[in-house]
Amino acid sequence: MMWVTSASNRFRLHCGARGGQEAVLAHSPDAAKTTVREASRGRTRLLSIEDTAHGGTTLVWQGDFHELSTFVHGTEVPLETLPSMVAGLDIQDSREGMTVRPLRGSGVEVDYVLAGNFIPEVASVTVKPLASATEQIPLSGGKAVRGGRLWRDDDLAADGTLLRRRAVLANTSTAAFFVPFEPTGKDLAPVVESIEFTLS
């Protein structure tokens, strides 16, 4: 997974094997409520998977071996939307893998995420290489734990009510960000104090 940032947009891209999104759709209980449109541009295949039940669209760019996809709100999204979104990227697809890099001079930035996942009933988790996350990590302090140094960031309402909680765990190679499903829950602390991520 990666975040792509340009002067006018910021969006998430997922990379996977060609046909992956269609395979997910084939096993989805909402498949009957989904509209699929497609078009070809040379050797590239474009897909629009519209989820009319939830009012969103998954846009897919397929090369010979791999695909890129992103989610946008709304339906009846033009098929050319994703190609225009990735116009500032150099995309190379081969049997060995896919590389996605900013085109020189495009002003586009690509922020690679090592993992984006969740711990069931506890929190969502995003792991990044430390070098791409330094601006999101406090400069000092933090609690020493098994996986590095740990910080907690709380968003409070004017009356002191906890609105959102985030934990940041950083070490010499990675930075992990945890957002608990229940801000006041007690399950987050023992998890983030015992978990460890490494980049090899």
Token pair in block for residue 14: 């997922």
CA nearest to 171, candidates 200, 196, 148, 139? 148
Question: CA-to-CA distance for 50 and 33, rounded, in angstroms?
Answer: 8
3-state secondary structure (DSSP) of residue 195:
coil
Quick one: pLDDT at residue 115? 65
Quick one: pLDDT at residue 102? 94
3-state secondary structure (DSSP) of residue 87:
coil
Question: CA-to-CA distance for 104 and 83, rounded, in angstroms?
Answer: 18
Show the 3-state SS of 106-135: CCCEEEECCEEEEECCCEEEEEEEHHHCHH
169 neighbors 125 (Cβ within 8 angstroms): no
Quick one: pLDDT at residue 131? 85
3-state secondary structure (DSSP) of residue 32:
helix
Quick one: pLDDT at residue 148? 96
3-state secondary structure (DSSP) of residue 136:
helix
Residue ranges covered by each domain of the chain: 2-111, 113-192
Question: CA-to-CA distance for 60 and 47, rounded, in angstroms?
Answer: 5
DSSP state of 103: P
Amino acid at residue number 126: T
Question: CA-to-CA distance for 175 and 3, rounded, in angstroms?
Answer: 15
Quick one: pLDDT at residue 5? 92
Written as tens digits, the pLDDT of the chain (200 aa) is: 888 999 889 998 989 899 988 888 887 777 888 999 999 988 899 999 998 877 899 999 999 999 999 999 999 999 999 999 999 999 999 988 899 999 999 999 998 877 667 788 888 888 888 888 888 888 888 999 999 999 998 888 889 888 889 999 999 999 999 988 888 888 999 999 999 988 76
**H-helix or E-strand spanning residue 192:** helix 188-192
Question: CA-to-CA distance for 185 and 189, rounded, in angstroms?
Answer: 9
Question: CA-to-CA distance for 52 and 32, rounded, in angstroms?
Answer: 10
CATH topology of domain 2-111: Double Stranded RNA Binding Domain (3.30.160)
Question: CA-to-CA distance for 192 and 196, rounded, in angstroms?
Answer: 8
